[in-house]
């Protein structure tokens, strides 16, 4: 069945491809955050354990919203770990880290996603896709707030 939502097929395909990249990064960050939630050892364990849980729950919602938007545009959402790892710009963390090192890694990833999402917002504006632009603005606010909160945990350490 054809899609008639006011966006040309080539534009929808271009947007879907860009959203797939953002979806992959978000999934890798989700996995990293959940890993840190499970494995953090720190004097602030209880608080950080709960904080990281809130972050990965929000990321899970973002994953679903991004995948659904890709489908709305007529694209196919990636859904395997291999696909996500092949597309992501983020690095996995496999070694044991201190609590502060975990927070620093997450901060760096959220800041990277802020920059990436800003680029995608600019593209959606150029392509007149207000629906995707609105979704991405919400994502940008989440990553900016997360970066601020993570930075606050590390502020007196530098």
Show pLDDT as tens, one digit a residue, over the chain (158 residues): 788 888 899 999 999 999 999 999 999 999 999 999 999 999 999 999 999 999 999 999 999 999 999 999 999 999 999 999 999 999 998 889 999 999 999 999 999 999 999 999 999 999 999 999 999 999 999 999 999 999 998 987 65
> Could you give the CA distance from residue 106 to residue 113 in angstroms, rounded to a whole number?
10
pLDDT for residue 136: 98
pLDDT for residue 6: 87
> Could you give the CA distance from residue 129 to residue 109 in angstroms, rounded to a whole number?
26
pLDDT for residue 157: 60
Which pTM value belongs to this model? 0.94
> Domains of the chain: which residue ranges?
9-157
Residues contacting residue 66 through CB under 8 Å, at least 6 positions apart? 19, 22, 23, 26, 77, 135, 139
Token pair for residue 132?
């995707």
CA distances 45 to 39, 40, 84, 153, Å, are: 10, 7, 29, 13
> Could you give the CA distance from residue 9 to residue 12 in angstroms, rounded to a whole number?
5
pLDDT for residue 155: 83
CA distances 82 to 27, 36, 91, Å, are: 11, 21, 14
pLDDT for residue 158: 53
CA atoms within 13 A on the CB side of 146: 30
What kind of fold does domain 9-157 have according to CATH?
A: Ferritin (1.20.1260)
């Amino acid at each position: 069945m054809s899609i008639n939502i006011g966006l040309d097929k080539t534009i929808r395909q271009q947007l879907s491809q860009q959203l797939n990249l953002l979806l992959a990064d978000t999934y890798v960050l989700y996995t990293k955050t959940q890993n840190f939630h499970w494995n953090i050892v720190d004097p602030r364990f209880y608080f950080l354990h709960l904080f990281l849980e809130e972050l990965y729950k929000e990321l899970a919602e973002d994953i679903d919203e991004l995948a659904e938007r890709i489908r709305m545009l007529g694209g196919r959402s990636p859904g395997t770990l291999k696909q996500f790892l092949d597309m992501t710009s983020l690095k996995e963390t496999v070694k044991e880290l201190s609590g502060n090192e975990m927070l620093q890694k997450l901060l760096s990833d959220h800041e990277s996603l802020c920059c990436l999402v800003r680029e995608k917002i600019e593209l959606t504006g150029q392509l007149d896709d207000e629906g995707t632009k609105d979704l991405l603005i919400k994502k940008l606010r989440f990553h900016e707030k997360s970066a601020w909160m993570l930075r606050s945990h590390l502020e007196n350490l530098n």
